[in-house]
């Protein structure tokens, strides 16, 4: 939206989605941009549903890329796939602990684990905290991946590498984000709901869980981030 009335209304983007991905995409409006920064600093896990197709490889790891190889896949079983996923999860768990800079033998580590706060609180490579097979019907399969500091292209590469580990090849057919930190698909607004009242309701519906997470992880909360009424949001747009 452009024009004199909306020139000073700031809208910020959270963790981005590339053009081949879909799902939960968080935006900050006005003072909510500060909350986006706070949520970034919480380093929360994101969850994706990732589709794959065994039997071919492409130059960009997606099913729409340039075909570079075809392979057999009849030898792949769910047991073999889940064995590879367990190895990936184990390797990433070691990386998670290393980048969290926590001595696992301390009381602090125990308390952080109980609160679900063992995570890198700074920059780190992409880390998969959990991965499981939702469905396998050769040549297609579907995974659920919980991760930190990832890109959607990184997830496509994971699908490619799973194919190689199974002595085959694989391309990614879908990347859909189902959770971004405290936000889920249930919180998302459809295009038909992009109006002032729906946006205000979405903000207030999510306020408590945003506040809870920021207080738990960062230890502070500022009520001035949120508008009190739809009229206040409209005023912010006008001013």
Dist. CA 174–CA 11, nearest whole Å: 28
Dist. CA 177–CA 24, nearest whole Å: 5
Query: 90 falls in which pLDDT band (50, 70, 90)?
Result: very high
Q: Which residues contact 136 (CB under 8 A, 6 or more apart)?
A: 76, 78, 81, 142
Query: 83 falls in which pLDDT band (50, 70, 90)?
Result: very high
Whether 18 is catalytic is yes
- CB 36 within 8 Å of CB 14: yes
- CB 159 within 8 Å of CB 26: no
Tell me the whole-structure pTM to 2 decimals. Answer: 0.86
pLDDT in tens, 154-186: 999 999 999 999 999 999 999 999 999 999 999
DSSP state of 25: -
Dist. CA 224–CA 35, nearest whole Å: 10
Q: Which residues contact 55 (CB under 8 A, 6 or more apart)?
A: 70, 71, 72, 73, 139, 168, 169, 170
Q: What is the mean pLDDT of residues 53-70?
A: 98
Dist. CA 49–CA 159, nearest whole Å: 12
The CA–CA distances, whole Å, from 144 to 39, 68, 75, 137 equal: 22, 26, 22, 15
pLDDT at residue 230 above 80?
no
pLDDT at residue number 219: 82
Beta strands in the chain (DSSP E): 11-13, 21-23, 27-29, 46-54, 56-58, 67-70, 127-137, 140-148, 170-180, 183-184
Give all domains of the chain, ordered by start, each with its CATH number.
46-180 (3.30.2350.10)
Catalytic residue among 18, 74, 222, 238: 18
pLDDT at residue number 239: 38
pLDDT at residue 235 above 70?
no
């Amino acid at each position: 939206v452009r024009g004199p009335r909306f020139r000073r209304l700031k809208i910020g983007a959270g963790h981005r989605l590339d053009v081949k991905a879909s799902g939960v995409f968080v935006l900050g409006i006005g003072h909510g941009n500060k909350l986006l920064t706070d949520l970034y600093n919480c380093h929360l896990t994101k969850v994706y549903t990732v589709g794959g197709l065994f039997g071919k490889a492409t130059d960009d790891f997606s099913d729409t890329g340039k075909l570079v190889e075809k392979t057999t896949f009849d030898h792949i079983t769910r047991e073999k796939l889940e064995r590879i996923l367990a190895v990936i999860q184990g390797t990433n768990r070691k990386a998670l602990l290393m980048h969290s800079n926590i001595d696992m033998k301390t009381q602090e580590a125990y308390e952080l684990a109980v609160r679900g706060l063992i995570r890198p609180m700074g920059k780190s490579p992409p880390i998969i905290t959990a991965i499981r097979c939702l469905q396998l019907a050769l040549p297609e399969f579907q995974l659920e991946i919980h991760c930190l500091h990832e890109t959607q292209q990184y997830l496509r590469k994971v699908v490619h590498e799973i194919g190689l580990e199974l002595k085959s090849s694989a391309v990614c057919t879908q990347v859909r984000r189902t959770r971004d930190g405290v936000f889920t698909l249930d919180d998302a607004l459809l295009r038909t709901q992009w109006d002032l009242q729906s946006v205000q309701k979405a903000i207030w519906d999510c306020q408590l869980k945003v506040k809870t997470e920021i207080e738990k992880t960062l230890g502070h909360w500022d009520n001035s981030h949120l508008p009190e009424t739809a009229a206040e949001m409209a005023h912010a747009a006008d001013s």
